[in-house]
Chains A and B, each alone.
Chain A
Amino acid sequence: MIFFILFLSIFGGVLLSTQSSINGAFSRHAGTFESAFLTFFTGMLIMFIVVLFFGSGHLLEIVNVPKWQLSGVWFGVGYLFLTIAAVPKIGVTATNIATVIGQLLMSLFIDHFGWFNGTQVPMNLKRMIAVVLMLIALHPIYAGTNKTEQVAGIDTGMNRQ
């Protein structure tokens, strides 16, 4: 079961990366916000159908949950705005490397402190070594893509979501 989830999450990353290339291509003609809007809008249509047929939860419970649990959407949109601010100043490669570092560190902090009511997984030596290895791996992977992404336009990295 856990290996299945692991495999699915890796596949999720594959989807994210594919999406950012595809949205990059779309945004060159349509605009960055417009590209994000299309992603959210078509995503909403798809999820509406999926929930209608396969939903087993209680969508209306949304009015009863603590408001901070609804803040995820601002984090997603905030990500978009922050990358839009950063890319023109430091470039796509640097932005990609910096966001991955943020993603990695934040996920380990959340585990360590048990934030957002999650299970607490304390930081240990193995995890610290893992962070160092990831940081070493980042540069060769994204540095080589520098030229490509500048040709592709500045929007490439900021259309995930």
Chain B
Amino acid sequence: MKIWIYSIAVAAGALLSAEGAIYGLLGNSIGKLESSLYNFMTGTIILAIVILFLGKGSVSYAFKAPKWQLIGGLLGTSYLTILVFGIPIVGVGVAMTSVIVGQMTMSMVIEERGWLGSRRTQMNKEKLVAGLLMIISLILIY
């Protein structure tokens, strides 16, 4: 039975939504950009400790990697900052559903175009219908 492993993955997603909600609130007390800074600063410290004890890879690969592989932090800060601004206005449900729609659409596009080192997969009718269903559900939630 792998049901508990599926539950772990569901819990991971739940944590993402809770994170957005909490930062929406913290943004109102200490400032929105400041909340985002807090997250990345504290996260850096936590991960530095984790790497000291559990790290098996090499951080210094960052100096050799192709430069486009280094923009994850820029994308991550933009994502979190958008949420911190958006959640107090539209609520967690609408904000996270929009995020999910963006995520799923983009992963289809990345696959279809074979971007970022992914292997190309054809767009098909089922995927287009899925895209349509997502947009309908976003309208329903909104």
Q: List A residues at the B interface (Cβ < 8 Å).
A: 1-2, 5-6, 8-19, 21-23, 25-27, 29-48, 50-51, 54-59, 61-62, 65, 68-79, 82-83, 85-86, 89-90, 94-95, 98-108, 110-111, 115-119, 121, 126-127, 129-131, 133-134, 136-142, 144-145, 147-149, 151-152, 159-161
Contacts and interface: CB of A to CB of B under 8 A. Distances in A.
A62 B127 CA distance: 45
16 contacts: A2-B90, A13-B101, A15-B79, A15-B102, A30-B57, A31-B57, A36-B47, A39-B72, A43-B76, A44-B40, A56-B33, A57-B34, A83-B9, A130-B136, A148-B111, A152-B117
Given A59-B31, A148-B119, A90 B6 contact: yes
A59 B119 CA distance: 44
A159 to B, nearest CB: 7
Contacts of B100: 13, 100, 103-104, 134
A43 B77 contact: yes
A43 to B, nearest CB: 4
Contacts of A13: 98-106
A61 B26 CA distance: 10
A37 to B, nearest CB: 4
Interface residues of B, number: 112
B31 A77 contact: no
A77 B103 CA distance: 20
A81 to B, nearest CB: 8
3 tightest A-B contacts by CB?
A57-B31, A31-B57, A13-B102
A126 to B, nearest CB: 5
A126 B140 contact: yes
B106 to A, nearest CB: 4
A28 B25 CA distance: 36
Given A33-B54, A75-B16, A77-B46, A137 B104 contact: yes
A62 B31 CA distance: 10
Given A37-B48, A74-B46, A99-B13, 16 more contacts: A13-B101, A13-B105, A19-B75, A21-B110, A21-B116, A38-B59, A43-B77, A44-B41, A57-B27, A90-B6, A117-B25, A126-B141, A130-B138, A137-B133, A145-B111, A160-B76
Contacts of A127: 93, 140-141
Contacts of B39: 43, 72-73, 76
